[in-house]
Amino acid sequence: MNTAKLIGIILIAAGAIGLVYGSFSYTKNTEAVKLGPLELSVKEKETVNVPVWVGVGAIVVGAVLLVMGGKKG
């Protein structure tokens, strides 16, 4: 299996996951205040929405790579 087909499979899987879940969250630690030995940090939860067109585009590009990846020009 060559790299184009492998990237195509990964893009198809990532696009499908993006369409199913629609968003993902992560926690970001930020240092709010630091006064001498005293530190105050804040954990912020960030949510990133994945647009539908990104998921569909990843599937389309992945399918093209999968079909065209094995052909020699």
Instruction: Work out the pLDDT band at 71, boundaries 50, 70, 90.
Output: low
Burial class (CB in 10 A: 0-12, 13-18, 19+), 62: buried
Determine, yes or no, domain membership for 59.
yes
pTM: 0.69
Determine, yes or no, domain membership for 25.
yes
Domain that holds residue 12: 3-68
C-alpha–C-alpha distance, residues 49 and 25, integer Å: 9
State how far the alpha carbon of 9 is from the alpha carbons of 12, 16, 52, 59, 66, in Å: 5, 11, 19, 9, 7
**pLDDT at residue 7 in the model:** 92
Cα 48 from chain centroid (whole Å) = 10
Render pLDDT for 42-68 as a digit per residue (tens, 0 to 9): 899 999 998 999 999 999 999 999 988
Determine, yes or no, domain membership for 73.
no
Q: Which residues contact 22 (CB under 8 A, 6 or more apart)?
A: 49, 50
